[in-house]
Amino acid sequence: MSVEIDQIRNVPLFAALTDDQLAAIGDKLEVRQAHPGEHLSSEGGTGYFFFVIGEGAAECTRGGEVLAEFGPGDFFGEAAIFRTRRRTATVTATTDSTLFAMFGADFAKLAAEIPVLHDRIEAALDERLPHEDAS
């Protein structure tokens, strides 16, 4: 089931995309429901899906330490698709939530076709992933 563009138009990651670009993204997204305590991704696990929170909230942890609280419009799962191949953190729903999920290969293809989306993902990855010293 695809997602209507009005459901994703206000997602900051997708801001400034054209209706055609939003429609292409919406066609590849599916709606999922999550409940409090449900793991949406697990640190170290394989990552096949990219997620956007439509409604609700989630907590992002690494090694048991809380890294971030996510809410509507926030996204996760991009690192395992674009760089690490493994989940870098665990994301757990903290409320009943509606998620938009996309298969990673589809997301990578869309990001390659939509330069502004690719740039925003790269910026998020640079901010989220631990940096290693190049010394």
Q: Residue 18's Cα: distance from chain center in Å?
A: 20
pLDDT of 110 over the 70 cut: yes
Query: 35-94: per-residue pLDDT in tens?
Result: 999 999 998 888 889 999 999 999 999 998 999 999 999 999 888 888 767 788 899 999
CATH number of 32-128: 2.60.120.10
Percent of the chain whose pLDDT exceeds 90: 64
pLDDT of 11 over the 80 cut: yes
Domain boundaries along the sequence of the chain? 32-128
d(CA 29, CA 88): 22
Q: How many Cα neighbours within 13 Å face the side chain of 37?
A: 0
At residue 132, the pLDDT reads 46
At residue 31, the pLDDT reads 96
